[in-house]
Amino acid sequence: NAGVTQTPKFRILKIGQSMTLQCTQDMNHNYMYWYRQDPGMGLKLIYYSVGAGITDKGEVPNGYNVSRSTTEDFPLRLELAAPSQTSVYFCASRANSNQPQHFGDGTRLSIL
Amino acid sequence: AQKVTQAQTEISVVEKEDVTLDCVYETRDTTYYLFWYKQPPSGELVFLIRRNSFDEQNEISGRYSWNFQKSTSSFNFTITASQVVDSAVYFCALSERSGNQFYFGTGTSLTVIP
């Protein structure tokens, strides 16, 4: 199994550009999550989803949007990129509330 | 309020020393789950262990052991005879049966000095 796959691994954006971070999982997990991790810091929840068609805001949703049209995919959209969004972004999934989250390898995003 | 507290921001030990990473959690649920993750310098997040609120037995896996105490709301992680490869950031996390989120602590950065 591939697990959780994130693309791209690295990206440099200019201020004001937009992009979509892709996340797909092949474990048929209902729950999916997006986190950002700033240098030397912990994980902050951006958005999460408990199933196809259902999404909810986390701790730091401003400047981001998500959609969940299928169980497998949970893309994260950045509109009008700002330097404050420079971070490493992690996608995770899990089957239910008693299971661990499985993480992708992360996307390192720099906005200049 | 912070649901998971890892008071130790950074710890340094000399190789072969034992080290304990503290984790204190807060929840009103009677059914909940606790986790530890490791994030080595390469950046990936690696799941180490899960404990549910009904099982207070300590767990040992090689040089790693975990002590879960509901009376003090703690889930501490001990590395015995530490090695340089143990150098990483370690995160404790909580999941409640009634909720959908996963609450991470702020992490403890462990450096093992050769």
How do residues B51-92 score in pLDDT, each as one tens digit? 999 988 888 899 999 999 999 999 999 999 999 999 999 999
Q: How far is CA B64 from CA A42, B46, B58, in A?
A: 22, 14, 11
Residue-level pLDDT at A1? 64
CA distance A42 to chain B (A): 5
Residue-level pLDDT at A19? 96
Residue-level pLDDT at A23? 98
Helix (H/G/I), strand (E/B), else coil: B70: helix
Partner B contacted by A95 (CB < 8 A): no
| CB proximity list for A22: less than 8 A, separation 6 or greater | A5, A6, A7, A8, A73, A75
Segments of chain A scoring below 50 in pLDDT: none
Under the banding of pLDDT at 50, 70 and 90, the label for residue B27 is very high
- Cβ atoms B88, B11 nearer than 8 A: no
Residue B8 has pLDDT above 80, yes or no: yes
Residues B104-113 have a mean pLDDT of 97
Interface A–B counts its CB contacts (< 8 A) at 48
Mean pLDDT over the full length of chain B: 94
d(CA B101, CA A34) in angstroms, rounded, equals 11
The partner residue sitting opposite A100, judged by closest CB among B44, B47, B105, is B47
Q: Taking CB atoms and an 8 Å cutoff, what residues of chain A touch B23?
A: none
Q: Say which residue, B99 or B63, is predicted with more confidence.
A: B63
Helix (H/G/I), strand (E/B), else coil: A106: coil
CB contact under 8 A, A98 and B52: yes
Residue-level pLDDT at B57? 84
Q: Which string of b and e fits B82-111 if b means at least 16 CB within 10 Å?
A: beeebbbbbbbbbbbeeebbbbbbbbbebe
Residue-level pLDDT at B30? 93
d(CA B33, CA B87) in angstroms, rounded, equals 25
Residues B10-14 have a mean pLDDT of 98
Mutation target vs A (from B101, B103, B108, B111; most A CBs, 10 A cutoff): B101
Residue B1 has pLDDT above 70, yes or no: no
Return the structure tokens found at A20: 């979509």
Residue B95 has pLDDT above 90, yes or no: yes
Partner B contacted by A103 (CB < 8 A): yes
Q: What sign does the dihedral B9-B7-B34-B50 (CA atoms) show?
A: positive
Partner B contacted by A105 (CB < 8 A): yes
CB contact under 8 A, B91 and A43: yes
CB contact under 8 A, A98 and B33: yes
